[in-house]
Structure 1
Amino acid sequence: MSRTLMLDQVHALSKAALIGAGTLEESASIVADSIVDAEAEGIRAVGLAYLPYYCQHVRVGKVSGLAVPKVKQTGKAALMADARNGFCHPAYVEGEKKFYTLARNCGIAGFGIQHSYASGVIGWFVDRIAKAGLVGFCFTNASASMAPAGGNRPLFGTNPIAFGVPRDGKPPLVIDQSSTATSRVSIAAKMEAGEPIPEGWGLDAMGNPCTDAKTVLGEGSMAPSGGYKGGGLALLVEIMAAGLTGANWSFEASDLGNDAGGPPDIGQFFMAIDPTAFGGANFSARIETLFQAMLDQDGVRLPGDRRHAHRLKAAREGVVVPDNLFQTLRDYARGEAA
């Protein structure tokens, strides 16, 4: 059985569940914004389906729901936030306006977050940067789940990277992809369902292709996207997200997939670029020329177009939520979750 929730109801339920688990109201509202966006874009795995992980991690202290982030300027075009082992979304929002101002004043700016936690859909951040008229990048590490190229022991996280570009009169172009062949939550969902994963998603302890989700998330590792190129991308993201911010390396972080080990203490790093400071005022027109040249070929779509279509549909029709997931979240909201 299931029910349909409009997006404002998704926000209310998400916020209430986080507050019920022990999160400050302001932080809960900001994190709920990201959950709504994930649901609106059709990414249930890191939307409402991932929210019970957030709530449980608040309850056990893996992420602090009571953390109040602190942001300080550390250079002419540099900001750092201490999330204080809380959610990264409130930490980002706390420094967001200053971040954009520095980018406009200097042409480019960097914003790091340390003592942080899982970020969900990182396209959420670069979409906000792009809507401010800036080109945005986001890098974040996570607990170890992927071996380096040639290795067989997890060292890097899924280590996603996201990129956002502003467009005149249209939603931003957003690219959001992990360094691994798929997301950890996708493999976890297969494991819970008792289903094999597609070949190419994971490796066993010897580094051989493996289709057993439990093995991949246990003694094995997730497969990189594009072979050694995915390993190189993971290393780049690791250096940007953890090296620049002083956060834990992925192999030092506690496992985000369970309740043990305390806060993961991972990091995020963002870049915002004022396109007019480099390419001049005709940046937007030139970007549209590029996009149109792509779309002139049959079968081509721009990254993010499917998500934008999902947004429009979800805004009109809401999203369908299984009753068991709804009940779990309502139990958290009431402080009754097992």
Structure 2
Amino acid sequence: MEEMKVLLSEEEALSLSQEVLVNQGFSAEYSRAISETVVAGQKDGCESHGLYRLLSCIDTLASDGVVPDAKPKLENVSGSIVKVNANGGFSQLAFSLGLPLLVEKAKDNGIALLAINNCVHFSALWVEVEQVAQNRLVAIACNPTQAYAAPHGGSAPLLGTNPFAFSWPRAGKHPFIFDFATSTVARGDVELHQRENKPIPDGWGVDAHGNTCNDPQIVLEEGALTTFGGHKGTALSMMIELIAGPLIGDLMSYESTQHDGGKGVLPFHGEIIVAIDPASAAGKDFEQHLARAENFFDQVETQGARLPSQRRYENREKSEKYGIEISEKLYNELLSLLN
């Protein structure tokens, strides 16, 4: 039987999310910031990073894994570096605090780096790199998570899902963006299969002996996710562990798991965002070079290929026209949290 769906306007989805979070103990400021992020995911058809994520935010608070009213603080600003201490809160407010200075420094110096430390993280990175691109800057962002994935050839969790995102500004068009986990699939997708009692496809995960496993519960509790592309995905994931961990003075995924202490809550770690100004990097003729990029995108689409994020933008347009779709089961679950 096909699962029933509920349609919400963006305003209704934001209101429901904020009411749930405030009722569960988050400050109004965090409730707004978290809600904007999860509704953006739901609006773009990204269910694994949409309103479903409210449940893990609430579970994390119930286990004392996040500070619900933390005040992020600019800690160290020198040269092209911006550092924001999230002080145990979710990353959204820390990013909002650091973004204006990141943009300013990138335009002054040609390139700038924002390091967010001591944050709890759950969200897709495209939400953040899209905001950087709206300032006509190129952006790269990544972060570790907890130890959910085994390195290629291994069987034990050591690496995070370690998302990597990139955005390229386009005049009069949505930015070119990709955002993907370096694991074969995001952990949230495996969790959704578990919620729906559905087996996962071959190659998504392994059991404790390193054998391919289709049972999402075994993969989540006893085994590990796999990295995409075999040894290549593992190498990229290891790079992310290093540049978003020790390089900015924060935790790697296995250290975040140790910090978790068995609670099983959302990961605590850092995040790195790099912003590059095309006007500085390409020089006075940068507009011509950006036009060359548009020709490149046209050639991709002329072949019948799809640009990354195209489906998200199509889902966004559909949601704006008809409403944001959410499963009836999740909708009722969120309503129950208002009692």
1:286 aligns with 2:289: no
Q: Which moved more, 1:24-33 or 1:164-173?
A: 24-33
Show structure 2 runs of 5+ residues with no match: none
Check the 8 A contact 2:9/2:323 in 1, yes or no: yes
1:301 aligns with 2:306: yes
Structure 1 residue 26, shift from structure 2 partner? 1.5
Residue 227 (structure 1) aligned to one of 217, 227, 230:
230
1:322 aligns with 2:317: no
| Partner AA of 1:21 in structure 2 | Q
Task: Give the TM-score, by structure 2 length.
Answer: 0.93
1:96 aligns with 2:102: no
Check the 8 A contact 2:245/2:251 in 1, yes or no: yes
Structure 1 residue 44, shift from structure 2 partner? 1.3
Residue 190 (structure 2) aligned to one of 183, 187, 192:
187
Check the 8 A contact 1:37/1:124 in 2, yes or no: yes
Where in structure 2 are the equivalents of 1:1-338 lying within 5 Å? 1-254=4-257, 260=263, 264-280=267-283, 281=286, 282-297=288-303, 299-332=304-337, 334=338, 336=339
Check the 8 A contact 1:91/1:113 in 2, yes or no: yes
Q: Which moved more, 1:239-248 or 1:137-146?
A: 239-248
Q: Distance in 2 between matches of 1:156 and 1:327?
A: 35
Structure 1 residue 265, shift from structure 2 partner? 2.6
Check the 8 A contact 2:53/2:122 in 1, yes or no: no
The alpha-carbon distance between structure 1 residues 283 and 185, as it changes in their structure 2 partners (threshold 3 A), is same
Task: Give the TM-score, by structure 1 length.
Answer: 0.93
| Partner AA of 2:315 in structure 1 | H
Check the 8 A contact 1:56/1:259 in 2, yes or no: no
Q: Which moved more, 1:159-168 or 1:278-287?
A: 278-287
SS of corresponding position for 2:168: strand
Check the 8 A contact 2:115/2:271 in 1, yes or no: yes
The alpha-carbon distance between structure 1 residues 85 and 49, as it changes in their structure 2 partners (threshold 3 A), is same
Check the 8 A contact 1:247/1:265 in 2, yes or no: no
Q: Distance in 2 between matches of 1:239 and 1:189?
A: 29
Q: Deviations over 1:150-203 (max 9, x none)?
A: 322111110010000000000101100111110111111222222211001011
The alpha-carbon distance between structure 1 residues 323 and 232, as it changes in their structure 2 partners (threshold 3 A), is same
Q: Deviations over 1:88-114 (max 9, x none)?
A: 011000111011000000000000111
The alpha-carbon distance between structure 1 residues 119 and 322, as it changes in their structure 2 partners (threshold 3 A), is closer
What is the aligned-residue RMSD (CA, Å)? Answer: 1.9
Q: Deviations over 1:229-269 (max 9, x none)?
A: 11011101111211222222111214899981677431110
Q: Deviations over 1:250-302 (max 9, x none)?
A: 112148999816774311100000011111322321110111121221x2111
The alpha-carbon distance between structure 1 residues 312 and 36, as it changes in their structure 2 partners (threshold 3 A), is same
| Partner AA of 1:222 in structure 2 | L
The alpha-carbon distance between structure 1 residues 54 and 182, as it changes in their structure 2 partners (threshold 3 A), is same
Q: Which moved more, 1:2-11 or 1:223-232?
A: 2-11
Q: Distance in 1 between matches of 2:47 and 2:259?
A: 18
Q: Which moved more, 1:141-150 or 1:76-85?
A: 141-150
Check the 8 A contact 2:182/2:233 in 1, yes or no: yes
SS of corresponding position for 1:159: coil
The alpha-carbon distance between structure 1 residues 259 and 108, as it changes in their structure 2 partners (threshold 3 A), is same
SS of corresponding position for 2:245: helix
Q: Which moved more, 1:162-171 or 1:257-266?
A: 257-266
SS of corresponding position for 1:23: coil
> How many percent of aligned residue pairs carry the same amino acid?
30
Show structure 1 runs of 5+ residues with no match: none
The alpha-carbon distance between structure 1 residues 98 and 286, as it changes in their structure 2 partners (threshold 3 A), is same
Q: Distance in 1 between matches of 2:188 and 2:320?
A: 25
| Partner AA of 1:296 in structure 2 | T
SS of corresponding position for 2:244: helix
The alpha-carbon distance between structure 1 residues 289 and 255, as it changes in their structure 2 partners (threshold 3 A), is farther
Structure 1 residue 322, shift from structure 2 partner? 3.0
